[in-house]
Amino acid sequence: MNFVVSSNTFLKNLQAISGVLNTNNKSLPILDNFLFEIKDGLLTVSASDTETLIRVNVELIKSDQDGSICVPAKMLLDILKMLPDQPCTFSVDLDKKEIELVYDSGRSKMVGESADEYPKPPKVEGEKNVRVSGELLLKGINKTIFATGNDDLRPLMSGVFFEISSEEINFVATDAHKLVRYTRTDINAEDDTSFTLPKKPLNLLKATVSPEEEVEIKYSDVNAEFNFGDYVLICRLIDGTYPNYRAVIPKENPNVLTIDRVQLLNSIKRVSIFSNKATHLIGFKITGSELVLSAEDVEFSNSAVERLTCSYNGVDIEMGFNAKFLLDLLNNLDSENIEFRLSEPARPGLLIPCEKEEHEDILMLIMPVLLS
């Protein structure tokens, strides 16, 4: 089996799917390989960690026969990175599992493994589907993935919750300290459904989906499949019922602070330098049209105070927040001004952008920290 491919194009395709590979595959070493499959002159390359599989179709300059083989992933990536852009010829002995790579300045050989040993991709049975734009999907992921948790005891919080109806799609993420809900109304789904997607396939989608292309999402109770461009990504969903996130969003928030987002962001950055390194506690005191930010680390006698002018409608209030979480939220908003909606010192605060695009809605929630 012989084929010719552009080295740069091939490298980009392989790097795009290599994010699924684990660094340690002692229990299943076949997963240290890419699966090459040629059929009717088209090369399909797959990478998998058993939970997630991603494959890409690669355009060949030339090929002579169909066949399949597993090729050492790291070795192939390393040699392609060292080559300038040029046609590369792969000569594969399917019986001996030997792969020879010929390029302008030389040749290299490696030994592969049988394609029959490679795990079969999971099937999405009893599937439902929805089509969304790449731009919508990417924005939904980018606006929420940073708020996911890393607690192994609460695996559902380590992924992004997709909540799809005929009228809208909600992307939701929370780590119990902060919560983000990103909503889009420009979709057309036939069925109401929901599922939780793990972090690894989310990052793979971020790396491979183009904003200009359409993405077809197929899903069942167990797996989801994403088809877009030359790629197919299939992954196992996180099992279980996602927490009732709506129950923690306060309905009544009579105290509304409106302020320049960048001004608030920079002020928090400065003041938080002097906060306690364990709690990152920063104080918010709002009186009239003035917001006072304060932080103190009693152990080292460090403290800071800044005053900002704001627009405020509500009663005087004093609250505490984790500065690190606040910065995460503010950094992931794009609007010039934001509303900080508050109710009581012990209840969550809501961050809402004052300016947003058509067909979208963004809500960010942060849990307070009690002031001592």
pLDDT, residue 189, reads 82
Residues 239 and 137 in one domain: yes
CA-CA distance, 204 to 11, in Å (whole number)? 16
In the predicted structure, residue 201 carries a pLDDT above the cut 90: yes
Mean pLDDT of the chain: 95
Residue 319 belongs to domain with CATH number: 3.10.150.10
pLDDT, residue 371, reads 84
Rounded to an integer, the average pLDDT of 293-313 is 95
227 belongs to a structural domain = yes
CA-CA distance, 356 to 134, in Å (whole number)? 19
In the predicted structure, residue 168 carries a pLDDT above the cut 80: yes
Confidence of residue 188 (pLDDT cuts 50, 70, 90): confident
| pLDDT digit string, tens, across residues 134-164 | 999 999 999 999 999 999 899 999 999 999 9
124 belongs to a structural domain = no
Domain stops at, among 92, 117, 142: 117
| pLDDT digit string, tens, across residues 231-264 | 999 999 999 999 999 999 999 999 999 999 999 9
For residues 308 and 263, the answer to whether their CB atoms sit within 8 Å is yes
Burial of 105 (0-12, 13-18, 19+ CB in 10 A): exposed
Domain containing residue 352: 249-366
Confidence of residue 166 (pLDDT cuts 50, 70, 90): confident
| pLDDT digit string, tens, across residues 76-116 | 999 999 999 999 999 999 999 999 999 999 999 999 999 99
Residues 274 and 323 in one domain: yes
Residues 136 and 72 in one domain: no
Domain stops at, among 223, 246, 269: 246
CA-CA distance, 212 to 215, in Å (whole number)? 10
Confidence of residue 216 (pLDDT cuts 50, 70, 90): very high
Residues 240 and 133 in one domain: yes
Residues 134 and 236 in one domain: yes
pLDDT, residue 128, reads 85
89 belongs to a structural domain = yes
pLDDT, residue 190, reads 81
In the predicted structure, residue 26 carries a pLDDT above the cut 90: no
How many domains is the chain partitioned into structurally?
3
pLDDT, residue 25, reads 82
pLDDT, residue 224, reads 95
Rounded to an integer, the average pLDDT of 204-212 is 96
In the predicted structure, residue 192 carries a pLDDT above the cut 90: no
150 belongs to a structural domain = yes
Residues 260 and 319 in one domain: yes
